[in-house]
Amino acid sequence: MTTSGGALVKAAPWNDPNARPYVQVDRITKSFGEFKAVDDVSLKIYKGEIFCLLGASGCGKTTLLRMLGGFETPSSGKIFIDGEDMTGVPPYERPVNMMFQSYALFPHMNVEQNVAFGLKQDGVAKSEIQDRVATMLGLVKLGDFAKRKPHQLSGGQRQRVALARSLVKRPKLLLLDEPLGALDKKLREHTQFELISLQDKLGVTFVVVTHDQEEAMTLASRIGVMNQGEIVQAGTPSEIYEFPSSKFVADFVGSVNMFEGKLIEDEPEYVRIGSDELGATIYVSHGISAPPEATVWAAVRPEKIFMSTAAPEGTDNVVRGAVQDIAYLGDLSIYLVKLPTGKVVRVTQPNTSRHAEAITWDQQVYLSWDATSPVVVTR
């Protein structure tokens, strides 16, 4: 799986055991009293990646980011950036910059002074500061706003100043804390693509914290899904979506129908799962590694379920139910179908034609899916 929505890291170094990681997080734990905000996390991030830490609020993603930035000290474990141990290095000595969620633009300085601030701290020559600031402002299309104060800018402009300020020092690593969180939806989509092209142009490695899975999908070369201080799965967006490793990930990323069942046939090429919840057997065309008779869950995405009024062939992966609710979203519709077992299945159908054969409330329908569609997870 090397397809990716966001940053294109051509060689997929994470599949190469000999590749040298650019950022290495080695068994990091951060405790606040009894509470472990980050719990024994190890992570390898490669040069040129956009790595997204995705999770609900309080899952530890921001704490992990702040440890990369040097704002929190790990309780145990080490952090290496470009081969150097950064664990105890204060923020002002790290080759790392951060874009803050609130942007943290200095209110008493104009755009130019804000962007120049970091270079001044490094004692860069005045003429060079001017050049680099001007180039950077050009890159984020704020050349005309150099003399404005932050309060005279729009939200999107402030976001770009913050980005320029954190990039102008050419950090080895840029940390972004909910970079698009404060923007409205339209602007956010536009900015996502701008961010990717800027990252591509400058070749800086990004670590992004977000709670918005769509944002993570769009930006990331890889996503690390976090829950309760742990990284529960790391992989490309399509790996995360198509091959979630646990119920939590399947449920957290996108929406999913989860059917609990028992393995009744366990072959290397296929498995068959009997599910009381579904009231049918599920046939999956690949083997899994689980003890026989084990309780497993089959996850089927709503868009991978076919809905028809005529009975499809076969008995595996087919159930009958009544349409309970329909939500029309324009590009697609969501159907909630109630099975005889009481389980409600979510199905999405694209509205491809304007006058499609309309399925309505209380209608009896057949649901079916391909043998490749279900993902079987054991926890």
Residue 61 binds other proteins (CB under 8 A): no
Strands 375-377 and 364-368: unpaired
How would you label 9-22 residue by residue, b for 16+ Cβ within 10 Å and e otherwise?
beebbbeeeeeebb
Query: Do you know the residue count of the chain?
Result: 379
- The encoded tokens of residue 142 equal 């704020």
At position 335, the amino acid (one-letter code) is Y
Nearer to other proteins, 98 or 307 (CB): 98
Kindly state whether residue 106 participates in binding other proteins, applying the rule CB under 8 A.
Answer: yes
Contact between 229 and other proteins per CB under 8 A: no
Q: Is 35 in the site for other proteins (CB under 8 A)?
A: no
Asked if 104 touches other proteins (CB under 8 A), the answer is: yes
121 binds other proteins (CB under 8 A): yes
Nearest-angstrom CA–CA distance, 223 and 243:
13
Q: How far is residue 351's CA from residue 120's CA, in Å, rounded to a whole number?
A: 56
The answer to whether 16 touches 180, Cβ cutoff 8 Å, is no
Q: Is 39 in the site for other proteins (CB under 8 A)?
A: no
Asked if 43 touches other proteins (CB under 8 A), the answer is no
Backbone angles phi, psi at 149, to 5 degrees: -90, 155
- Is 102 a binding residue for other proteins by CB under 8 A? The answer is yes
Binding region for other proteins (CB under 8 A) out of 15-23, 65-73, 194-202, 251-259 = 65-73
Interface residue with other proteins among 18, 57, 122, 329 (CB under 8 A) is: 122
Nearer to other proteins by C-beta: 30 or 301?
A: 30
* 34 touches other proteins (CB under 8 A): no
Does 188 interact with other proteins (rule: CB under 8 A)?
no
Contacts (Cβ under 8 Å, ≥6 apart) of 152:
none
Looking only at the bridges linking them, the beta strands covering 173-177 and 96-99 are: parallel
In the complex, the residues that contact other proteins under the rule CB under 8 A are: 62-63, 66, 69-73, 88, 90-94, 96-98, 100-102, 104-108, 117-118, 121-122, 149-152, 165-166, 169
